[in-house]
Amino acid sequence: MQLNFITFAAQSQPLGQMIFYMSLKDTINMQKLPRHIAIIMDGNGRWAKEKGEDRLFGHLHGVESVRNIVEGCAELGIEYLTLYAFSTENWDRPAYEVTGLMELLVDTIRKEVPTLNKNNIKLHAIGDISMLPENAQKELKEAFEETSTNTGLNLIMALSYSSRWELMAAVKQIAIDVKAGSLQPEQITQDTLQQYLSTSSFPDPELMVRTSGEYRISNFLLYQLAYAELYFTNTRWPDFRKDNLYEAIIDFQNRERRFGKTGDQIREEIPIS
Ligand code: IPE
Ligand code: IPE
Ligand code: MG
């Protein structure tokens, strides 16, 4: 585990006895946690290639990181974690990789449900689930049902997801409802639009993490990330562990979120305790 030194001297104690080791986790302000963290889990392929292995080897090891980070978020008391696991555009990858990823998905869901239940985690998915193979849809449906009464972390898997797909689907449904007369165009507000998105029951992410050194959003939650803090790290996803997550959270906690206001206005709003 990565350690930070906190060294201080008290008046009556010899200095040598006053060295405390604090883990990175201990330096997180538990009163200022993001409610919702979204992660673009990138770099599996490069991680594998660097080891002279096939890309699927990277995806397999990426599952270890998923386990570790889900556990880390649950331990901290994070309310929502969205993981970008497969994009609409990822369907265009070589067939063997797509098939391998789908098999890994089915296998992982099947194996992980008991752990999700043990940790009180509720599973959700966003994306065009109807595009997934039948067995993956079946495993997912069962996992939703089996975890539906859990009240801890909400784990949202973005599968066959892209923002442009989501916005297109929302606009289509709005048009259908307007045509049917159940929605009037003049009634449409930002809240209405939000209700038509696949994320309607979740708050917007406050922190978005992308691994593996890419500085882009790649069609992920374009609308919902409007005011998210973005955190990029060179660490490849299969190497990403709880301490990396803690670093991202601590970085987030040191930012001033202004939402269009001035820094002075924001600081005036924060009561000084
Ligand atoms: C992320 O890793 C996983 C998926 C997109 C499914 P990549 O497979 O994109 O890995 P790189 O970016 O090629 O290294
Ligand atoms: C984004 O990663 C999608 C997922 C992590 C599931 P990509 O690797 O597909 O994104 P690009 O192609 O580098 O933009
Ligand atoms: Mg990638």
pLDDT 10s digits, 196-233: 999 999 999 999 999 999 999 999 999 999 999 999 99
Mutate to test the pocket of ligand 2, among 87, 92, 221, 235 (most ligand atoms within 8 A of CB): 87
CA 96 – CA 203 distance, rounded (Å): 36
Yes or no: domain 31-253 corresponds to CATH 3.40.1180.10: yes
- What is the predicted pLDDT for the residue at 53? 98
Q: Which of 83, 218, 225 to mutate to test the pocket of ligand 2 (most atoms within 8 A of CB)?
A: 218
* Ligand 2 atom nearest residue 84's Cα: 6
Q: What pLDDT band is residue 22 in, cutting at 50, 70 and 90?
A: confident
Mean pLDDT of 99-123: 97
Residue 137, burial from CB neighbour count under 10 angstroms (0-12, 13-18, 19+): middle
Domain boundaries, the chain: 31-253
Is 238 in contact with 44 (CB distance < 8 Å)? Answer: yes
Would you please indicate which residues are annotated as catalytic (active-site) residues?
42, 90
Q: Which of 64-68, 230-234, 266-270 has the lowest mean pLDDT?
A: 266-270
Q: What one-character-per-residue DSSP string does 56-74 give?
A: HHHHHHHHHHHHHHHHHHH
Which of 54, 134, 52, 39 lies closest to 100, judged by CA? 54
Give yes or no for a contact between 85 and 157, defined as CB atoms under 8 angstroms apart.
Answer: yes
Write the CA distances from 6 to 18, 20, 24, 246, 252, integer angstroms.
9, 6, 11, 17, 21
Dist. CA 62 → ligand 1 center (Å):
9
Whole-number pLDDT of residue 6: 46
Give alpha helix (H) positions in the chain. 44-50, 55-76, 95-118, 134-147, 163-180, 190-195, 242-253, 263-269
Q: How far is CA 27 from CA 6, 36, 63, in A?
A: 10, 19, 27
Residues touching ligand 2 (Cβ under 6 Å) are 40-42, 84-87, 90, 214, 216, 218
What is d(CA 43, CA 55) in angstroms, rounded to the nearest whole number?
Answer: 10
Pick from 155, 1, 158: nearest CA to 74: 155
Question: To 5 degrees, how large is the angle CA 75–CA 249–CA 263?
Answer: 140
Residue 44 Cβ inside 6 Å of ligand 1? The answer reads yes
* Ligand nearest to the CA of residue 86, numbered in listed order: 2
Distance of alpha carbon 68 from the chain centroid: 13
Ligand 1 atom closest to the CA of 85, numbered from 1: 6
Name the pLDDT band for 21 (thresholds 50, 70, 90): confident
How many residues appear in the chain?
273
* Chain centre to alpha carbon of residue 91: 21
pLDDT in tens, 162-198: 999 999 999 999 999 999 999 999 999 999 999 999 9
Quick one: pLDDT at residue 17? Answer: 58
Q: Is the pTM of this model over 0.75?
A: yes
